[in-house]
């Protein structure tokens, strides 16, 4: 009879605990649980997370899947409300000093250090705000530094001390400003001005994608710290006001948003060269919050036929432990 050793050249290892890290295809026997196990590739998928306390759209977001922040936006009116996510539930914390909406992605890598700037004032006024506020994990502080030009509905990326904002508002701006932790500086503009553009990466190696130029865009541009370059890679689904995640210029995730006629569930991942289609969200929505990475993303809030409290967690492909059974 053919044996595992005869096929693979070595016997199945017997161990008291599951090995780490795992290699895809690895097989072992766990002698504490009396089970044969396999390291198998687990497909990407969205799953439900804890709901927001307040349904809203067009707020700002920062952080990671297990430590996220959502601030501002629109409920029945503009709001300064802030909520913090711990990986399972949202908690209401101190509000922003300036209520605003269409701040979209703020910048920050956790729920204890974030930055919000710009936004839109009271509905109907068209007021483009330039105010900047900093979050320290418990409260917001108005900073003396303001945007050089007030904007809303823009793309952003970076950290609390080194960030980038680009595009925005109803005139399809191409303006870009860089943040060094104390001041905003106007730098070279996007090649294609657009509103509802989204971003990933860092202050010196950023990515801008999607948005609207009057019609939804599939364009991608990369930032090298000095200028923007239009990429040949385009989104599979052109859209604006989606949720975004991604720690680098070559690793980004875009989900939801407004397609040509309605909110979408479409999800795409960028690997530095191309955009590829991934499993769709459960709830179609636009103007949603987003943060995290391509292997651990988070989407929350937004609007389709109504504002929603729904939170979804995205887990990218990963090698996971599976118990071998006879079934």
* Residues 6 or more apart in contact with residue 23 via CB below 8 angstroms: 39, 319
The helix (run of H) or strand (run of E) holding residue 5 is: helix 4-8
Higher pLDDT, 253 or 20: 253
In a domain, 225, yes or no: yes
DSSP 8: H
Considering the domain architecture, whether residues 26 and 62 belong to the same structural domain is answered as no
Considering the domain architecture, whether residues 73 and 200 belong to the same structural domain is answered as yes
Give the distance from CA 103 to its chain's centroid.
Answer: 14
Of 6-10, 152-156, 208-212, where does mean pLDDT reach its minimum?
6-10
What DSSP letter does each residue of 184-228 carry, written as one string?
A: EEEEPPPSS--BS-EEEE-SSSEEEE--BSSSB---EEEE-SS-E
Higher pLDDT, 37 or 289: 289
Considering the domain architecture, whether residues 273 and 249 belong to the same structural domain is answered as yes
pTM of the model: 0.89
pLDDT digits over 230-249, tens only?
A: 999 999 999 999 999 998 99
With a pLDDT cut of 90, the percent of the chain lying above it is 76
Band (3; pLDDT cuts 50, 70, 90): low
pLDDT digits over 73-109, tens only?
A: 999 999 999 999 999 999 999 999 999 999 876 788 8
Considering the domain architecture, whether residues 143 and 204 belong to the same structural domain is answered as yes
Of 62-71, 102-111, 209-218, 290-299, where does mean pLDDT reach its minimum?
102-111
In a domain, 320, yes or no: no
Considering the domain architecture, whether residues 17 and 96 belong to the same structural domain is answered as no
In a domain, 108, yes or no: yes
In the predicted structure, residue 277 carries a pLDDT above the cut 90: yes
Considering the domain architecture, whether residues 33 and 155 belong to the same structural domain is answered as no
Cα atoms found within 13 Å of the Cα of residue 30, Cβ hemisphere only: 16
In a domain, 325, yes or no: no
What pLDDT shows up at residue 322? Answer: 81
Domain CATH for 259: 2.120.10.80
pLDDT digits over 301-312, tens only?
A: 999 999 999 999
Considering the domain architecture, whether residues 143 and 59 belong to the same structural domain is answered as yes
Residue 110 belongs to domain spanning: 47-315
In the predicted structure, residue 173 carries a pLDDT above the cut 80: yes
Considering the domain architecture, whether residues 9 and 148 belong to the same structural domain is answered as no
In a domain, 121, yes or no: yes
Number of domains in the chain: 2
Considering the domain architecture, whether residues 8 and 101 belong to the same structural domain is answered as no
Q: What is the rounded average pLDDT of the residues 282-310? A: 96
* Residues 6 or more apart in contact with residue 261 via CB below 8 angstroms: none
In a domain, 323, yes or no: no
Q: What is the rounded average pLDDT of the residues 177-199? A: 97
Of 78, 83, 166, nearest in space to 126 by CA: 78
Considering the domain architecture, whether residues 76 and 133 belong to the same structural domain is answered as yes
């Amino acid at each position: 009879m053919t044996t595992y050793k005869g096929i693979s050249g070595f016997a199945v290892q017997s161990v008291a605990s599951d090995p780490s890290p795992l290699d895809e295809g690895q097989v072992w026997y766990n002698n504490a649980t009396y089970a044969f196990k396999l390291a198998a590739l687990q497909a990407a998928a969205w799953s439900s997370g804890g709901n927001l306390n307040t349904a809203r759209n067009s707020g700002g977001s920062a952080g990671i899947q297990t430590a996220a922040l959502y601030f501002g936006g629109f409920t029945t009116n503009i709001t300064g409300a802030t909520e913090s996510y711990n990986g399972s539930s949202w908690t209401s914390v101190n509000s922003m000093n300036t209520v605003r909406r269409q701040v979209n992605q703020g910048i920050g890598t956790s729920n204890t250090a974030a930055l919000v700037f710009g936004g839109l004032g009271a509905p109907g006024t068209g007021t483009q705000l330039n105010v900047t506020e900093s979050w320290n994990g418990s409260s917001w502080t108005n900073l003396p530094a303001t945007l050089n030009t007030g904007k809303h509905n823009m793309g952003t990326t970076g950290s609390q001390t080194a960030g980038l904002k680009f595009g925005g508002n109803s005139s399809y701006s191409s303006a870009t400003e860089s943040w060094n932790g104390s001041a905003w500086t106007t730098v070279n503009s996007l090649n294609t001005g657009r509103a509802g553009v989204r971003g990933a990466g860092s202050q010196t190696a950023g990515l801008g994608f999607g948005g609207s130029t009057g019609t939804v865009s599939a364009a991608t541009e990369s930032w090298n710290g000095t200028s923007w370059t239009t990429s040949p890679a385009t989104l599979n689904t052109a859209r604006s006001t989606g949720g975004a995640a991604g720690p680098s210029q070559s690793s980004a995730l875009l989900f939801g948003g407004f397609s040509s006629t309605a909110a979408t569930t479409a999800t795409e991942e960028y690997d530095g060269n191309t955009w590829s289609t991934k499993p769709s969200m459960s709830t179609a929505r636009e103007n949603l919050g987003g943060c995290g990475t391509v292997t651990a993303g988070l989407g929350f809030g937004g609007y389709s036929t109504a504002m929603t409290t729904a939170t979804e967690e995205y887990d990218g492909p990963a090698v996971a432990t599976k118990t071998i059974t006879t079934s």
